[in-house]
Amino acid sequence: PEPYVYQQRVRQHRDTAVMLLADLSTSIMAPAASGEGRVVDRLRSGMLLFGEALDTLGDEFALAGFASKYRDHVSYYPIKAFGDPLDAQVRATLAGLSGRLATRMGAAVRHATSHFRGVAAERRLLLILSDGRPADYDDGGDTGYLHEDTRMAVKEAEDRGIHPFCLTLDPAGSEYLPALFGPGRYLVLDDVNDLPRRLPEIYLRLRSA
């Protein structure tokens, strides 16, 4: 008689946790460079595919967004917390994402960093998705403060054992991101249409680094 062969799909434990933090400022409502759809459409697709990839891998992950208007009004939008399932509610929230207000990145990075408390993974990654430099309504035209605040927030995250990495859609990103995140800790994406495919690829590269 032929032997019985049993197959079982087992999710392997991986000691990595990642948060994907998306810039949800007004500029994501702009048309995509290809002329088809808007930047926000690619962002929604990218975050969903990222979540599905991480869900299949079994790595702990969280999804969130941010926008701002002045230093006292930084909105942080939790989409999926660590340990929560990638369920219909999360998918519906992603499908309804839209852009508003500005990009005070330093405050958002600090808030995201606080959500790693209690996450025991050996490697903790903060993947920030943006389409422009840190900015807000009350910077008086001087972006120096907001850049320095972001740089300090990144350093504070690193001091806590969290590794920030920025993926930007801003063609000028290479002019200021090295000072904010450090060499090799950012990537300028040339084509927004590549975002859904590249997000999981970038994560896998960072996880194995």
Sign of torsion, CA 97 100 103 107?
negative
Nearest CA among 135, 98, 129 for reference residue 192: 129
Burial class (CB in 10 A: 0-12, 13-18, 19+), 187: middle
The full length of the chain comes to: 209
Tens-of-pLDDT digits for all 209 residues of the chain? 445 555 444 444 458 999 999 988 878 777 777 667 788 899 999 999 999 999 999 999 999 998 877 666 677 899 999 999 999 999 999 999 887 777 788 889 999 999 999 898 989 999 999 887 777 666 555 668 888 989 999 999 999 999 999 999 888 999 999 999 999 999 999 888 888 888 888 998 898 87
